[in-house]
């Protein structure tokens, strides 16, 4: 595989283009590994929660094996987070029994034309169970269901999930359109995102949020139908922002030396510099190399043999929880721990792209410990920011408060002496860090919940991420 990067300026957008040359393995994909990992924001791994996490599901259309002129195979992928299921100890493993019920109705009808009820069990080895409580990522139990439906029709899907131990349940509905695949002209199936690929097995990624996908393992899969045979053609993957018209679009082009009537396509998923937001992921089948240099979606669609798209979302960047986060806030947060040239790079950044690059460059340098690359410093930092926002709000965001600043830099105090109601004094707190031989005194002078640091603050640039932080 060879790659090169060029930039093409369009009328309204900038396009980052990467070209790959490869030959596909034409063996059809026959099996999926259904072990998935999901991030559910601040939801902790627990047996009981006031609000259950939303389960994820995808509905994808593929051509039937015999190329039916009027039917399409619709695959439904369902992922139920372990944090919602109730697990019971069964010796050397923990087991959660639950049930998934799927009902499909035609648009405008109340009668189900397809109905399936599937009892399932999620199993976790005892040793693995202990580790789950230490991770930000909680696993999900996934399952796949296939239906044969009429091409071009509109349907509604209802999914009911019931925990058979706690008897609690959750439900979701979604309307969907079944794709039409012409008998003789080129077409593309729906796009399946995958977390990893090993041989002919994929670990699908279910849902629209791609934040947890690893750059060097993730990709997208689709099937190509009636692709040009005995002739080369090009597949182009394009990712463009739905929220920001000025956002850079990213293109990846793959040369396929020869096509088949039905063939699988595996494309690398280029998301390493995507920021938080909503994006459109598009795949184009092109017959002319010159067409791959077109810079807008409309121009590409007008020249494409076939086209398919889906929406994706980014709520974080490689573990950085940046959904809805202002870039200036992100830089101000790092000012607590940045010094010297790192500080200058952050605060000299002017444009949106420069600020994003400065933040990620900062963590690229910080995420090293004893000669080893690790994401632990970044993970600790943003967990502390999140905790500060939840627990130390004063007159503004928790991370801006004096208590939030000390917590972000040093982590949890060894002991915390709180006096919110004292007849002889205004509310105050004393934080002791015995291992550091340090003490911090906070006083709520105006009794508004805004505790100000009275003692000397930690030295700027201090970030003791190795200490206990949770």
pLDDT for 420-465, tens place per residue?
Answer: 887 778 899 999 999 889 999 999 988 878 899 998 888 888 888 8
- Going by pLDDT thresholds of 50, 70 and 90, the confidence category of residue 370 is low
**Surface-to-core class of residue 437, CB atoms within 10 Å of its CB (0-12 exposed, 13-18 middle, 19+ buried):** exposed
Other CB atoms within 10 Å distance of the CB of residue 313: 17
Segment 290-301 shows an average pLDDT of 92
Say which CATH topology domain 1-32+184-323 has.
Answer: Coagulation Factor XIII; Chain A, domain 1 (2.70.50)
CA distance 397 to 460: 20
CA distance 191 to 239: 13
Predicted pLDDT at 251: 84
- Going by pLDDT thresholds of 50, 70 and 90, the confidence category of residue 103 is very high
How is residue 288 written in tokens? 């002319």
Predicted pLDDT at 12: 37
- Going by pLDDT thresholds of 50, 70 and 90, the confidence category of residue 10 is very low
What is the overall mean pLDDT for the chain? 81
Cβ atoms of residues 303 and 294 within 8 Å: yes
Predicted pLDDT at 79: 93
Over residues 233-261, the pLDDT tens digits come to: 999 999 988 877 666 678 888 899 888 89
Segment 25-51 shows an average pLDDT of 36
Predicted pLDDT at 459: 84
How is residue 440 written in tokens? 């911090």
- pLDDT at 279 > cutoff 80: yes
Question: Which of the residue ranges 51-60, 81-90, 258-267, 370-379 would you say has the lowest mean pLDDT?
Answer: 370-379
Segment 6-13 shows an average pLDDT of 32
Helices of type H across 335-375: 340-348, 352-366
Say which CATH topology domain 34-181 has.
Answer: Immunoglobulin-like (2.60.40)
Which residues, in sequence order, are CB contacts of 369 under 8 Å at separation 6+?
A: 376, 377
- Going by pLDDT thresholds of 50, 70 and 90, the confidence category of residue 115 is very high
Domain boundaries, the chain: 1-32+184-323, 34-181, 325-366, 371-470
Predicted pLDDT at 135: 43
Pick from 65-69, 134-138, 297-301, 362-366 the range whose average pLDDT is largest: 297-301
pTM (predicted TM-score): 0.71
Query: Looking at per-residue confidence, does 339 or 70 come out higher?
Result: 70
Hey, CA dihedral for 321, 322, 324, 327, is it positive or negative?
A: positive
Query: Looking at per-residue confidence, does 457 or 106 come out higher?
Result: 106
Predicted pLDDT at 248: 65
CA distance 261 to 259: 7
Over residues 328-339, the pLDDT tens digits come to: 888 889 989 988
Cβ atoms of residues 256 and 24 within 8 Å: yes
Axis-axis angle for helices 327-334, 352-366 (nearest 10): 30
Pick from 166-175, 258-267, 310-319, 328-337 the range whose average pLDDT is largest: 166-175
- Going by pLDDT thresholds of 50, 70 and 90, the confidence category of residue 379 is confident
Cβ atoms of residues 213 and 195 within 8 Å: yes
Query: Looking at per-residue confidence, does 368 or 268 come out higher?
Result: 268
């Amino acid at each position: 595989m060879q790659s090169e990067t060029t930039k093409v300026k369009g009328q309204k957008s900038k396009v980052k283009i990467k070209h790959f040359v490869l030959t596909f393995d034409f063996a059809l994909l026959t099996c999926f590994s259904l072990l998935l990992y999901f991030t559910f924001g601040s939801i902790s791994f627990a047996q009981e929660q006031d609000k259950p996490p939303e389960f994820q599901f995808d509905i994808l259309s593929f051509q039937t094996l015999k190329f039916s002129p009027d039917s399409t195979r619709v695959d439904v992928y369902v992922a139920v987070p372990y944090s919602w299921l109730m697990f019971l100890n069964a010796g050397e493993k923990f087991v959660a029994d639950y049930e998934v019920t799927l009902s499909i109705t035609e648009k405008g009808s109340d009668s189900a034309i397809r109905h399936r009820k599937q009892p399932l069990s999620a199993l976790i080895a005892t040793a693995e169970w202990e580790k789950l409580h230490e991770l930000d990522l909680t696993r999900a139990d996934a399952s796949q269901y296939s239906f044969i439906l009429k091409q071009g029709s509109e349907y509604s899907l209802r999914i009911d999930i019931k925990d058979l131990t706690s008897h609690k349940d959750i439900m979701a509905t979604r309307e969907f359109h079944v794709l039409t695949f012409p008998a003789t002209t080129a077409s593309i199936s729906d796009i399946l995102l995958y977390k990893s690929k090993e041989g002919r097995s994929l670990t699908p990624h279910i849902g629209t949020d791609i934040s947890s996908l690893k750059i060097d393992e993730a990709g997208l899969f689709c099937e190509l139908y009636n692709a040009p045979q005995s002739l080369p053609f090009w597949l182009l993957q394009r990712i463009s922002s739905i929220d920001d018209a000025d956002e850079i679009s990213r293109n990846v082009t793959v040369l396929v030396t020869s096509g088949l009537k039905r063939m699988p396509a595996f494309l690398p998923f280029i998301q390493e510099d995507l920021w938080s937001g909503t994006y459109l992921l598009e795949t184009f089948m092109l017959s002319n190399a010159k067409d791959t240099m077109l810079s807008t979606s409309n121009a590409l669609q007008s020249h494409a043999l076939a086209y398919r798209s889906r929406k994706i979302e980014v709520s974080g960047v490689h573990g950085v929880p940046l959904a809805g986060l202002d870039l200036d806030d992100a830089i101000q947060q790092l000012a607590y721990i940045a010094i010297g040239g790192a500080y200058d790079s952050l605060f000299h950044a002017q444009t949106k792209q420069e600020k994003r690059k400065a933040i990620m460059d900062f963590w690229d340098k910080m995420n090293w410990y004893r000669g080893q690359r690790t994401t632990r410093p970044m993970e600790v930092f943003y967990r502390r920011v999140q905790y500060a926002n939840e627990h130390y709000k004063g007159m503004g965001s928790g991370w801006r408060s004096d208590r939030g600043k000390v917590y972000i830099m040093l982590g949890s105090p060894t002991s915390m002496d709180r006096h919110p109601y004292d007849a002889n004094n205004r509310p105050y707190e004393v934080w002791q860090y015995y291992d550091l031989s340090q003490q911090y005194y906070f006083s709520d002078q105006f009794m508004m919940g805004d505790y100000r640091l009275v003692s000397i603050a930690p030295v700027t640039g201090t970030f003791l991420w190795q200490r206990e932080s949770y």
